[in-house]
Each structure stands twice: as structure tokens, then as C-alpha cells.
Structure 1
């Protein structure tokens, strides 16, 4: 309410609102008050000019043009709003086709939108008017369908800008269907430009209807709208200019009212568009945090949680397919913490997205085995699979600010998982959400559940993201750079929270990070990735002293320690990471490796397993290597 009050206090908002309300009120009351005066025929006063009795003169039957203009407001506004509704509905369907159907199926729809937008709207309206025939109904369909492509293009662009956000990916991981994601997470975040465009479309529809009726394709006698009055008045414009100016001014004022009102509405929208949450129940209704649905336990086969073999992710490129992930294989067991390290572009996050089924078109995911709790994730998307992902897999994204839908309260976002997968009612789901916020050490969870994401600090948002994953009974938590945007104190709190959850519920953890020190402290095992492949798999306890791959040792050496000599230049890895679109033959690390030989340039080493279960892909594994030192001016901080 305060948001709307502030809008009404501005000159633009107050004027636009008053003008729009006046037009709508006039559309309602004018036919009731002045229909008789508008239809009264006075053959003795035909084509009279403006006077005290007839402010805009009379037409060729002596009828009062001013009253007819007022009465025509209802039909003109009704037809314009009907056409706008058609344009908005059809435009929304067209614009969301790619999101709902997938990129491949949506390409046909998008191509149709692009072709339609290339034509001027008035030409499309005339084309459809001829198809649907002369009259008000045909004009409504013509103008509505003519306006749909432009609205569809806007919707398509806005949906694409929001669909890649982390909170949408989080909903996908939770197993929420595409249509529900569209309604709950996408459309509320693009409502402002859509509302503005809809009101502008209404103003344009008024003008379009006036044009069609003026051309004789719209409203037909004995009915009349502003365009029909323009058509009748143009014949006598030299005798009585007011006969055409009165309905023309009405079109101008109403169109201006709708356009200005759209700008005012945009300022009044935002997070306030979401309905408030009901009062939260007492904690007596809170569910047991250790409760686990029977359906989930049936998926468990032994202690193996995640089994990935020969995982590849491919994207089309201008010179052929690009494979940023190439033949990745690993397994994660219950209670195990596996760290994934490597430079940017090594394929760490893309591997996590592939496991979570978040790689969309045109990306392609292939694997000889990709199973979560014994369920094949390569199979077609089904309700059972979404239920498994929504309750047994928790995804913690890198940026805590974009991990939540900014238009929805925190309690409602967490409760969505319980309502969707555990079939709880709203009250029980909100109680569960409060309990999960308390479980991740957020103070005053009952009050915090009513707040929006921007009211949480960065650390609180990250803990709330973990809490969302705990709404089910996750067997695996995938944390993609969960501490990157946080200060060191909050980083430790988040890492301690993950460790406590893992210890309490025997949850498996995949921790993706650039910080090899953090991974070495938190995880049991470390996967080192380079150029889309795992180049080494070793126990975390051996990361600092027992690494055998030159790249792993270079990563460890590049991290300053407390005993690092401040007078000496820092150790760095020379060169640049490999471009996934241009992976060289042989070992991808050869160009940067001080141990590279002729064989490294031609033969790609295989990831071999030793008797202790450690894996390494290097022709010179374990050989001593000197760390390269650069001048301070060239130091690269990692």
C-alpha cells in the first residue's frame, strides 16, 4: 500500500491514475446517463455547428456528437481491452513456448514470431481483418492477433533473461515442473515490463480500432465507436470540424491515459505483487527433521549414492562440437565428501550441472552410467525422477543473491519443495520451512520466513539455500563454490554447517571450489580437473604432500601459506588454461608442464588406478618438478 501511495504522490502517477479512472468510469456511466440524448434525432438541426445546446455540433441526422462520443467510450474501451487480452494471452503462449517445450521445439515458434514481427502491425491487422471479416468481432481478433507477435517477442526475451538464474535452476533441481516454475518463478519476475507493455498495447488497440472502423472494417451501424464517429464526421469536417475532432480527441486522451498508467503501475509492482504468507503455525506442528519418506529409501543400493562413468557434455560450435567435459568418471558414497578443484573452465561446475540435469539445449549430456541412488538420470524426465531429484539431491549455488526468487518470501520458497514432493498442506509446509531455517542456524526463523531474500545477509542466504536442500531428506549435496562471495568468517560458518549436516545424517557431499586448501580440510577425497577431464583422484590428506600430477602440485604450490616468504615472488602456473574449443593432441596440460616430453605432445595419458585406489593421468606421475616463480608484477592471484 505504501508503494502505491508513493506512486500517487508523484505528478505523473496521480495524473495517469486520475485520467485512467475517469475513462473507465465514463465507459460505465455514459451509456446509462446519455444514451437517449445521443440517439435523439433532430431533423431540423442537421449538421449544426458547436453551440450551447450541442457542444460539438450535430451529425447528418441531427444527433448530438458530444453525447455520442461519450456513449461510444464503452464500446471503444471494451473492444480495445478485448483485443489487448487476446494479444497478451497469445503473446504469453508464444513467448514461453521455448521454456515449456524446450529449445528445439520452440525454435519453430520463435521463427514464426520473428517473421510476424518483421511486418508492420497495421498490415497484420488489415490481413487478419480480411480473414475474419468485417465487423467488431473480426476487428477484435485482427487487432489482438496482430499485437501478439510483439508481445511474444518481449516475453521470449524476458523469459530467457530469467530462466538462467540460480533460483530457477534450484527449482529444477527440486523437481518442480516447467509450468509451475513458469508461474511461480519466471512470470512474477518479468511482470513489470509485461504490465507496462500490456497497457501500451491497450492504448495502441484504441488507435487501431479507430483506424479499422474509420476504414469501414470495424464497428458497423447502428453500433458506433470512436472510429465510426470519425468516419461519419470526416464527410462534414469542412462544415463542422468538431464532428471529427471530438472523437479524435477522445482516442488521444484514452490512449495517453493507458500509456501513462502503465508507467505508474510498473513503479507500484515488484515484490509487493506476491501475496503475503499466512500466519505460521506453532512449532508443535513441526515435522521431525529426521523423517524420511519410504519411497526414497527404496532407491538406495548399498552405500553408493552417485555413480558417474564416462560423462561427456557437448555443445555445438562454429567449427564442430565442443566438449567442455570429456569422459569424467567418479563415484560418491554415503557420508563421503568429495572435492572437485581446478582452474576456471576446467569443467567442474558443468559436471555438477550435468549430474543435476540442468544442462539444457543445445547442450547434450552422454554417459555410460549416470545414477543417483540407483536411478538412471539419463532416462526421460518423469514424475518419479523429479521426486528423486527434489528430495534426494540438494544443490547449493555459487551466488547466494541469485539463488532465490526476489519476488517471493523465503518461507514460501522453502515450503514449495515440501508441498510439491511431500504433499504437505500449506501450514505444515511452512512449519517445515521454519524448522529447516532453524536447522541451518538462522536466528528468529519464524520472523525470517516472512522476509524477502534482499533482507537476508549473504551468509544467511547461503545457509537458507542449504536449508532448502534439507526440506527433503537429501542423500547428496552438491555445493558449487558455496563460499566464493562470502567473507572468511561466514565461509567457515557455511563449511562447518555442511560438515555437521554430513555427519548428522550421513549425507554425501560434492564440494566444488578453487580453494584447494578448503577442499583439503573439508573433504575425504579430491578430484582434480583440467580441460574437462579428471587428471588426478587422491585422498585429501595427501593433497599437499602426496600429489603425483604436476598440475595438482602446481595448484597446491600456488596457494600462499602462513610460512610463505613475503620477500619472495609467489608461485604461479605459467600459461593459460586450454580452450575447450581447441584442445590440443596429447596431454592437454603439456604446454604448461615443466615435465612435458615428446610423448606428452602426441599421446593422451589414460587415467590409471594404482593398488591404493588413487588415480592419475600423467606420463610422468610422481616425478619431481620445480615450481615456476614469476616477478611480483606478474603474480597471478588464485
Structure 2
């Protein structure tokens, strides 16, 4: 079924049909029309298009239309042969460095890098001079011109696989380098190589036609589309049809190969782009634990910077969970990771990352776009300032639900009304700058409601809003949860907001969850010193107005600054030597309450 993914898109299906037609012509055209294409008629030399000769005749009176059809076999065959030579050569050059001695591998890699620096057509002309004029020389020239880019791709893919654990295990077991390459590496990179080989075939076809057009490819009496194009060009100002037939054939065939390759590449990216390196979930921790199941989530950037370090939590249907912590604690990046929005060069890994009972990397864009809604903290930058609000909301339903433009606009007005924006039909025709800050935030929530969300991720939705508007937004999220039975993951730096609206709270610090507990126990049962410090830093009606406001000394560590021990130890009044040298695991105190701290429950209770 995975091989048929390419046929599910209109582009893939259309290009596949064209390829089938080309193959049929290559097989049957010489048998059906070979004699008519070779028949010489001295009474019809150099004629233009007519009912008898659709594209006219050449200088010997031969029918050009039939010659174009018959030339399909030689053109396609030579292009595929050149591609095969290029792919095999590139595969060898790209993979042998993995089994050669280090000095030899460097020589091969350097040679490939130098060759890649030159344009492909320039390489083809260079090799054509070396191998000489004719069909054989042109095939070798194009094949060797393709090889460097394919070798570079093979090197990159091989390097990405060679560092995985199963390769290391094979080496430990004593498996030889060549066997590792053929049994473990190449099978894992075969799919992208096949996709790129298809693209290379289209390039080889057009390049071969170019060499024949220049007179250094196929020689008489043989002919391909490039040679027919060159012959027809001499008469283009008198009658363009002879050149047009061969030109159209080259363009259509080249597009068929390239579009099929692009469609296959798109299908490959869709299957692999979500969670890089995701491993099977551990026994007993299946993807069906909740609506959103996250186990050991990590986000890594170049240089070993890891701003999210082993985050695990579960969101159940209809549940509202708050995530709190200071700026830089990893709250927003965690939300982006579970929404598949972390961009290159960031890398997301997890033991389990499942949404609605399905691994996130297997969830289709259409399902994720309608079942998961993301409300960003700054709607000013989240909306396109050059498009009307209604158009931007309607686009969600047009893309993910296949609605017509008119029906999607009606739904956009309905959703704006659902978030209590007055005159929604009129507002759909306005631009973002015509909305107030609170209205833009509600419009962002309305965009999330264009689907049927099972989970709403609200990333600090009340930032920069006044208290009254904050309450309206929070009540709106609670209403969405009640009316639609949707779960809400509310990210906030204000722990009191979370305490008032959520069922559970996750406290994050330095990229980890340091405490998780029910919000109705937050003020009485919080055990982590960071959680208690956050609570003390929030003034209430009983706060002594003559005393200085409570603050947390110091600042959170940067992701690249996290060393051994508990990251909160430099700011913690209870820290001892163990805290400074060993980082505690997140352990369960009792059902629904987890904390990452070396201190006993009684010691933590004593500082409250």
C-alpha cells in the first residue's frame, strides 16, 4: 500500500498515466509504425502538415509524426540506460567510503565533492568530449554526469543511518563492513534513492535530447527526439510543425518523469517528517493511554543544545491541563513539538508521541489540522496582515475539509460568532489591524474551531491582554472545553491563572517537568521548591503591602548551560551536595502527584 501512495495525488496519478503511455509507445510504436516511419517518398519531400502527414515530412519524404512515435523507444531506452549507469556509479561512490580505510574514503569523498561543484550539463559535455561522438559516448557522458549528485545523496543518507543503534550492535556482533552496508544500511535508504533516481531519469532524458540536438549524441541512420528536433529546427521559420512534434515529446516525457518523482518524494516526506528517529514505545506504555501521550520527548538543536529534556505526560479527553514555568523553561517548544511545528535544524525525538491513539508521524495532515488546534500567544504576528480575517479562517476548511470557498466563508462567520465577536459577517471582510488585541486572540481561537478539535493547545493566550480581556479568553476556552468535550493544554507563566482554570498542572523548569499535581492540591500539597517559590511570588489579598514582594533569586539556566545536578539547585534554599551533583528523576509521591526533587516529602513540607 505504501508504494501506491504516489498514485493518490492528482499529480502522481497523471504522471503515472503519462509514463504508462510512454512505455506502451516504446514497446509497440516500432512494431506498428516502424515501416511507415522509414518509408521514403521522393514525391513528398519537405512538405508541411497535412491530413496525410500530421507533422509534415523530412528531407527524404518520411513522415515525421510516425518518426516521433517510433523514436520513443530509443529515447526512453537510452535515458534509462544513462540513469542506470549514473545511479549505480553514484551508489558505489557514495557507499564505499563506509567500508574503505579512512584515507581512501577521504579521497573518494573529496573527488565527489569536487565533481558536485560543477553543473551537470557542463560535466556531460566534458565527458562527451572524452568518450567521443555517438550513442555510446553520450550514454556514458550523461551517466557519469549524474553520478556525483547521486553519490553525495548516498553519502548523506548512509551517514544518517550509520550512527543508529542497530548499526553499532551489528559491529559489536562482529558483522563485516560490507555486510553491514548491504544488509543494514542500503535497505534503509533505498526508498529516497529510488525517488531521486526517478527524478534523475527525467533530467537524463532532456540532457540526452540536448546532446543529440547538438549533433554529438545519436547519429544517422538512428534517430531520437533530440536528433529530430535538430532536423526540424532548420525549417522552423518555414514550417514549425516538424520541430514542434519532437519538442513536445521531450517536454511531456521529461515532465512525466519529474512530476512522478516529485509526487513520490512528497509521499516519502509525508511518511517521515513528523518525529525524527521515533522509537517504538516501551512495553506497557502504548499510544492509547490518552488523547495525547508523550513519553521522553526531547528537542535538540545543533551543538547539543537540548531545551526540552525527557518530558512525559498524558492529556485525556475533555481534560484541561496547565503548563507553567518561567520564560525559557521549554513550555512553548514542547507545544510546538507535539504540534509538529519544530522546524529544521531542530530535531524531535520521543519514545512515544501519539495523538488520538495514533503515532504522530503516522497522523495525516488533514486529521491533525482538523483535530488539533493551536492558539499562539501573539495573534498579531500569527495572522497575515495582507489578507482578510475571514479569508484566513476559511482557508483552514478549504484545505483540510475540502469545502468550497463560499461555504468556508460562511463557516468562518459562524465561528467568529461562536467566540462572541459582534457582527461576524461584517468582521470576516476586515483585516487583522482592524481588530483589537482581544478580538484578534478570539479570532485565533475561532480559527482553531474551523475544524472539530479534540485538543486545543493555547500558548500563553492571555499575554499582553488586560485583566478583563484575559478573563474573557479564559472563559471562552473553558466554554469550548465544555461544549465540544475538547481537551485543552494551557501554557502560561501565571500559575494562578492555571490554578483557576485547569484540572492538573505541569511545572516545567530547564526543559523538564519538575512537578505534576492536581490544581485543587496546588496551594496545599506542592512539594517542589520551584513550585512553592512560584506560588509565593504571586501576591494576594493577604500579602503585607509594607514588605518587599517575594522573588526567586537568580535566573533560569540557558539550555546550553545546564550542567550536572538539579538545574534549580543554584536558586534553591534546600540544595545540598547531592542536588548539585545528581539530577533527580521525576518520581511518584502518590497517585496523580509526581515531583523531581531529592528532598523527602517531610522536608519539602517544612519549607511551606
Distance 1:328 1:619 in 2: 19
Distance 1:386 1:352 in 2: 17
Structure-2 residue corresponding to 1:550? 529
Match 2:290 to one of 301, 304, 311: 304
Distance 2:424 2:327 in 1: 36
Equivalent position SS for 2:561: coil
- Cα deviation for residue 626 of structure 1 reads 8.3
- Per-residue CA deviation, residues 349-368 of structure 1 (Å, 9 max, x unaligned), is 00001011111111000000
Equivalent position SS for 2:565: coil
Q: Per the alignment, do residues 434 and 535 of structure 1 end up closer, same or farther by CA in structure 2, a change over 3 Å counting? A: same
Structure-1 residue corresponding to 2:188? none
- Cα deviation for residue 627 of structure 1 reads 7.6
Structure-2 residue corresponding to 1:374? 357
Q: Does 1:585 align with 2:564?
A: yes
Q: Per the alignment, do residues 303 and 490 of structure 1 end up closer, same or farther by CA in structure 2, a change over 3 Å counting? A: farther
1:571–1:627 CA contact under 8 A, matched in 2: no
Distance 2:424 2:535 in 1: 40
- Cα deviation for residue 301 of structure 1 reads 8.4
Q: Per the alignment, do residues 301 and 536 of structure 1 end up closer, same or farther by CA in structure 2, a change over 3 Å counting? A: closer
Structure-2 residue corresponding to 1:535? 514
Distance 1:580 1:586 in 2: 14
- Cα deviation for residue 624 of structure 1 reads 4.2
- Per-residue CA deviation, residues 262-320 of structure 1 (Å, 9 max, x unaligned), is xxxxxxxxxxxxxxxxxxxxxxxxxxxxxxxxxxxxxx987821000000000113xxx
Distance 1:430 1:583 in 2: 49
Equivalent position SS for 2:590: coil
Query: Which structure is higher in helix share?
Result: 2
- CA root-mean-square deviation: 2.2
Distance 2:418 2:464 in 1: 22
Matched ranges for 1:417-456 at <5 A = 417-456=396-435
- Per-residue CA deviation, residues 311-339 of structure 1 (Å, 9 max, x unaligned), is 0000113xxx0000000000000110110
- Cα deviation for residue 492 of structure 1 reads 0.3
Match 2:317 to one of 329, 334, 337: 334
Distance 2:577 2:462 in 1: 40
* Higher RCO, Cα 8 Å, sep 6+: 1
Q: Does 1:344 align with 2:323?
A: no
**Residue correspondences, number:** 326
Distance 1:307 1:508 in 2: 13
- Per-residue CA deviation, residues 538-589 of structure 1 (Å, 9 max, x unaligned), is 0011111210000000001001112211100111111111121011211111
Match 1:469 to one of 420, 439, 448: 448
1:341–1:515 CA contact under 8 A, matched in 2: yes
- Per-residue CA deviation, residues 489-516 of structure 1 (Å, 9 max, x unaligned), is 0000000000000011110000000100
Q: Does 1:487 align with 2:470?
A: no
Q: Any gaps of 5 or more consecutive residues in structure 2?
A: 1-112, 119-285
Match 2:302 to one of 304, 316, 327: 316
Structure-2 residue corresponding to 1:57? none
1:414–1:468 CA contact under 8 A, matched in 2: yes
Structure-2 residue corresponding to 1:359? 342
TM-score (norm 2): 0.52
Equivalent position SS for 1:544: helix
Equivalent position SS for 1:443: coil
- Per-residue CA deviation, residues 208-261 of structure 1 (Å, 9 max, x unaligned), is xxxxxxxxxxxxxxxxxxxxxxxxxxxxxxxxxxxxxxxxxxxxxxxxxxxxxx
- Cα deviation for residue 613 of structure 1 reads 2.4
1:595–1:625 CA contact under 8 A, matched in 2: no
Distance 1:415 1:304 in 2: 30
1:548–1:621 CA contact under 8 A, matched in 2: no
Q: Per the alignment, do residues 457 and 627 of structure 1 end up closer, same or farther by CA in structure 2, a change over 3 Å counting? A: farther
Distance 2:579 2:506 in 1: 21
Distance 1:403 1:549 in 2: 35
Distance 1:516 1:374 in 2: 30
- Per-residue CA deviation, residues 610-629 of structure 1 (Å, 9 max, x unaligned), is 3322110101153247889x
Structure-1 residue corresponding to 2:205? none
Structure-1 residue corresponding to 2:4? none
1:549–1:621 CA contact under 8 A, matched in 2: no
1:306–1:372 CA contact under 8 A, matched in 2: yes
- Could you list the runs of 4 or more consecutive aligned residues of structure 1 that deviate by over 4 angstroms after TM superposition? 300-303, 624-628
Match 2:493 to one of 514, 518, 526: 514
Q: Per the alignment, do residues 368 and 610 of structure 1 end up closer, same or farther by CA in structure 2, a change over 3 Å counting? A: same
- Cα deviation for residue 375 of structure 1 reads 2.1
Distance 1:560 1:627 in 2: 18
Distance 2:522 2:361 in 1: 33
- Cα deviation for residue 378 of structure 1 reads 3.4
- Cα deviation for residue 386 of structure 1 reads 0.7
Equivalent position SS for 1:572: coil
Distance 1:626 1:413 in 2: 53
Distance 1:627 1:518 in 2: 24
Distance 2:396 2:510 in 1: 36
After the TM superposition, which of the residue ranges 475-484 and 540-549 deviates more from structure 2? 540-549
Equivalent position SS for 2:579: helix
Distance 1:330 1:528 in 2: 11
Distance 1:303 1:528 in 2: 21
Structure-2 residue corresponding to 1:568? 547
Q: Per the alignment, do residues 301 and 348 of structure 1 end up closer, same or farther by CA in structure 2, a change over 3 Å counting? A: closer
- Per-residue CA deviation, residues 359-403 of structure 1 (Å, 9 max, x unaligned), is 111100000011111221235xxxx62112210010010112112
Equivalent position SS for 1:575: coil
Structure-2 residue corresponding to 1:559? 538
Distance 1:480 1:377 in 2: 20
1:557–1:627 CA contact under 8 A, matched in 2: no
